Amino acid sequence: MKQLVVGIDIGGTNSVFGLVDREGNMYGEGVVPTRKYPDFDQYLEELYIGINNLLKTVDIEYELVGIGIGAPCANHYKGTIDNAADLVWKGVLPFTEKMKRYFPNLPVILTNDANAAAIGEMIYGGAKGMKDFIVVTLGTGVGSGFVANGQLVYGHDSFAGELGHVIVNHTGRMCGCGRKGCLETYASATGIKRTAFKLLADHIEDSEFRNISYNDLTAEMITKAALNGDPLAIEAYEYTGMVLGRALADAVAITSPEAIFLFGGLAKAGKYIFEPTKKYMEMYMLSNFRNKVKLLPSAIDGKNAAVLGASALVWQEKDGEN
């Protein structure tokens, strides 16, 4: 009988869930509008109904073997979501405990989005068979999942992997975390917008971006302009790659990974982000690590990446038991 897992990706706007097998094939998916349910218990009820409806649509014989959940501010050890600014519910939410009431005989496993992406990469993606690698998510912010000795590094409190909040410049840009110069103020979708505006200030050349407000500018527009050969957009990516490449060189010195996978919005810029990042990573790397670490695009990055990553949590735990 086919074994299937429910993967749930909890976002501020929507919670997307899907049924996934060990090979990463999807057997249907569903959505619950997170924001519509300010009452946490009502949200869980809706999520349960949605999952149950999805399970009824499956037309093969299957066994449900677990629930994997990716969420912001997730505490893997406690199964809680702790004070997530992007979610409608405040405080510490006992997510897995409450989910287990609906699915009493199944493992329910929770982690944050970047960790889920890393485990997804290991189970379904480019990190299959790797024991030591890093996944860096380049979205609105920068997240990361570090895998060492075949295990995700959760750390003592489950909040390890905050590569986006390594400080790359102590006199640098203000970060939402209240400090200055965090990597994510440079190497995220928001960071490259800031870099584009810095370049508009520094340079005198004309640019299509001079007619666009900060709030209207998107990383996708910068990527598109780079693809069209816009010098300022290309320079913005070059600078982003320099800051990211240096930070990755430092991360390599600590965990010496076999590969680093870039995931999310900025990674879609292809060579515009990969080439400078690789160049500066090698340039600033300690010599004994040079030309050994692969810099790769995520192999699960696509429409269902977050659901896949969440579902992978269950397979990884099952693999560990065998």
Helix (H, G, I), strand (E, B) or coil at 56: helix
User: Applying CB under 8 A, does 287 fall inside the site for a copy of itself?
Assistant: yes
User: Applying CB under 8 A, does 291 fall inside the site for a copy of itself?
Assistant: no
Tokens linked to 52: 């149950």
For residue 184, the minimal CB distance to a copy of itself (Å) is 11
Among 56, 60, 170, 171, binds a copy of itself (CB under 8 A): 170
Among 32, 108, 109, 251, binds a copy of itself (CB under 8 A): 251
Tokens linked to 55: 């399970």
Binding to a copy of itself (CB under 8 A) within 105-164 occurs at 131-132, 144, 146, 148-149, 151, 153-163
Near a copy of itself by CB under 8 A, which window of 3-11, 171-179, 271-279, 295-303? 171-179
User: Applying CB under 8 A, does 178 fall inside the site for a copy of itself?
Assistant: yes
For residue 178, the minimal CB distance to a copy of itself (Å) is 7
The strand pair at 26-32 and 15-20 is best described as antiparallel
Q: Rounded CA gap, 111 and 126, in Å?
A: 20
User: Applying CB under 8 A, does 167 fall inside the site for a copy of itself?
Assistant: yes
User: Applying CB under 8 A, does 246 fall inside the site for a copy of itself?
Assistant: yes
Residue labelled with tokens 């690590």 = 289
Q: Which is nearer to a copy of itself, 45 or 258 (CB)?
A: 258
Tokens linked to 128: 């299959």
User: Applying CB under 8 A, does 292 fall inside the site for a copy of itself?
Assistant: yes
Say what angle helices 40-57 and 95-102 make with each other, to 10 degrees. 50
Among 45, 46, 86, 258, binds a copy of itself (CB under 8 A): 258
The type of residue at 205 is: E
For residue 35, the minimal CB distance to a copy of itself (Å) is 24
Q: Which is nearer to a copy of itself, 106 or 153 (CB)?
A: 153
Q: Which is nearer to a copy of itself, 47 or 134 (CB)?
A: 134
In contact, 19 and 58? CB cutoff 8 Å: yes
CA 209 to chain centre: 28
Residue labelled with tokens 């409450």 = 98
For residue 6, the minimal CB distance to a copy of itself (Å) is 26
In contact, 316 and 68? CB cutoff 8 Å: no
1 strand-pairing partners: none
For residue 25, the minimal CB distance to a copy of itself (Å) is 30
Q: In what order do the strands lie in the sheet with 259-263?
A: 151-152, 142-148, 133-138, 259-263, 294-297
Tokens linked to 98: 């409450």
Among 36, 179, 203, 271, binds a copy of itself (CB under 8 A): 179
- State the DSSP string of 102-115: HSTTS-EEEE-HHH
Radius of gyration over every alpha carbon of the chain, rounded to an integer in angstroms: 20
Total of chain residues touching a copy of itself, rule CB under 8 A: 42
For residue 157, the minimal CB distance to a copy of itself (Å) is 6
User: Applying CB under 8 A, does 284 fall inside the site for a copy of itself?
Assistant: yes
For residue 82, the minimal CB distance to a copy of itself (Å) is 8
User: Applying CB under 8 A, does 257 fall inside the site for a copy of itself?
Assistant: yes
Sign (positive or negative) of CA dihedral 102, 104, 105, 109: positive
Q: Which residues contact 159 (CB under 8 A, 6 or more apart)?
A: 75
Where on the chain is the footprint of a copy of itself (CB under 8 A)? Answer: 131-132, 144, 146, 148-149, 151, 153-163, 165-167, 170, 177-179, 246, 249-251, 253-258, 284, 286-289, 292-293
